[in-house]
Chains A and B, each alone.
Chain A
Amino acid sequence: MVDPPSSLSSHLPSHKTSHAISQRSHLGVFFAIILIALAALSLFIGRYPAPGIMNPALLKTDPIARQIVLNSRLPRILGAILLGLVLGGAGASLQSIFSNPLIDAGFLGVSQGAAFGAALALVLGLRAYSGIAALAFCMAVLALALSLWLSSRFRYGGQILRLVLAGLAVSAFFSSLLSLMKYIADPLHQLPDIVFWTMGSMVPMSWKRLESALPIAILSLVVLYAMRWRINLLSLDDAVAHSLGVRPSLERRIVSVAAAAGVGVMTAVCGVVGWVGLIIPQIVRAVDGPDGRFVVPRSMLGGAIFVLISDTIARSVFSGEIPLGIITSLLGALSFAILLTTRKVELAR
């Protein structure tokens, strides 16, 4: 408790330092209810037995309907929720700790590294999905390690600038390797697979793949959630964070690795899904302010809603599946433009 300096307190009006308990919107509760309702509704949206909403009573009478809902749509919906939770939480955390609201969840080259890994697996002729996902994840981790190592070798700028520059360089490096894979890929068999994978999709999601991604994704979410107050401190100047007992370099790395691991593992399974980690934290901050205590969990929930809606559109609106990344990019770009034109996105100082 602060001891009031006597001469100052004597100037004060008869102010009672009552609790200024945070007045927050109920966005978190609202998001949670919406997410549960959407997930339940999405289970019955699709093209079986006819395009539209399935009658839930069919689950009792139609074994095919039961099979589709429980073994196809349910893991896919849970996968979409997990992907959205990770992308939203990672985006919000990375934007805060690097004091840059325009950083994406694939920052530090993670998305491009995973994309190259998957393309390499396809060019090498690996057909098993586990092989593709494993190589994608390995390359995502390699990209992260390269970014961190490169930033430590730079002799220019502060820690944040070095990491941003290293992330840019590593992203560009893996992006060019991805182009090389496309160039040398068999145009009839391998190239379409690479292109489809780099556009992101929940089609490959199954119970088995969900289980394989779950441990790292959950660990990533737990770390980001646990660090949500420290994330505020990391958004301050390093000198201030240091004065508050934070070790900025170490704690930034913990958050970066947790975010990149989650994004890496989900990208390995679902392909590259853009814009979620960029746009959702922006929307949450516009409603609720930038406090990490609220921005991180609400960005997770908002990301899950966004991906779930996008995936439901991707699999149900047209007779053929639309890659998820196309829908999220389209909706994300539109939302970003609307946000910037209708709401003043301001930096504090």
Chain B
Amino acid sequence: MNSESILSACDISFRWKEDQPLLEDISLDVARGQTLAILGPNGAGKTTLLSILSGRLSPRAGSVSLNDRPLISYSARERSQLIAFLPQLEKLAFNYRVLDFVLMGRTPCMEVLALPGPKDEEAAMQALSLFRLDSFSMRNIGELSGGEFQLVRIARCLAQGASILILDEPASMLDPAHSRHIADALASLADSGKTIIYTTHDIELAIFLGGHALIISEGKIQWIGAAGGLVDKGILSRAYGISFSIKQLPSAF
């Protein structure tokens, strides 16, 4: 095990059905402050891997360690103080005010039945201001565009105060401007020392954010290395089963 690793997975396997293995013998170490992009075809198990790394799912075999301690031994509250997870999609039944929505991220910092206080409101406003969304605080979520909502969701993760952010496709389904805005925000968070693990289908985003990248396919890690290595067409072709070419086209990154 890497001595600097903050989060590590050792030989983890997972399957929803007995005869359909989804992940097999996955091992990885994520160092403190590292950025790790997880790529791979649809259905490769990227989201399942994130769910296991965030403690929401338990692997069928193998183990996950957080700060050299089994993740399973952490209480829900302890874990939430260290890891913030952002699912790809999020449906809201109620039209919360933006500030209240971000305030929910402060829950791990509060006593179990306590209400958020002025310090929590200040932290939530600060998280919003990092994305220049502080002027949105009194708006309702339903008034936001898709890109703004995504930024507010990331602000909620930030307000949580966790050192590890696990984000499932944080920049998907957004226009180039919002994708770039989120990429800039993630780059700044990485610069500030956050450990960021995220999935993406956007190879340009992974290269832009740098750090490390891995490709999952058919339940196994097919490749792992510096994110800049994704320019290798052969690596991508083997993982996705199609041929890639490199062209000069307009890019937001």
Residues in chain B within 8 A of chain A (CB atoms): 51, 54-56, 76-77, 79-81, 83-87, 89-97, 99-100, 104-105, 107-108, 113-116, 118-119, 121-127, 129-132, 134, 137-138, 140-142, 149, 157-161, 184-185, 187-189, 191-194
Contacts and interface: CB of A to CB of B under 8 A. Distances in A.
A332 interface: no
Interface string A241-266: 01111110000000000000000000
Given A229-B114, A236-B104, A349-B149, A2 B130 contact: yes
B93 A99 contact: yes
7 contacts: A1-B119, A1-B123, A2-B130, A2-B159, A243-B157, A245-B108, A247-B76
B102 to A, nearest CB: 10
Contacts of A5: 130, 188-189, 191-192, 194
Q: Find the residue from B85, B86, B92 having the highest chain A CB count within 10 A.
A: B92
Given A23-B138, A245-B80, A348 B113 contact: no
A253 to B, nearest CB: 15
Contact of B104 (A100, A239, A244): A244
A96 interface: yes
The 8 residue pairs across chains A and B that have the minimum distance between CB atoms:
A245-B80, A290-B94, A99-B93, A5-B192, A5-B188, A8-B188, A348-B92, A243-B85
Contact of B125 (A7, A20, A246): A20
Interface string A301-338: 00000000000000000000000000000000000000
A63 interface: no
Label chain A's interface by main secondary structure. Answer: loop
B80 A19 contact: no
A64 interface: no
Q: Find the residue from B51, B158, B192 having the highest chain A CB count within 10 A.
A: B192
B129 A15 contact: yes
B141 A349 contact: yes
Given A2-B127, A244-B108, 17 more contacts: A2-B123, A6-B188, A7-B187, A8-B189, A22-B99, A99-B94, A101-B93, A226-B113, A227-B113, A239-B87, A242-B54, A243-B160, A245-B80, A290-B94, A290-B95, A348-B96, A349-B92
A11 interface: yes
B199 to A, nearest CB: 14
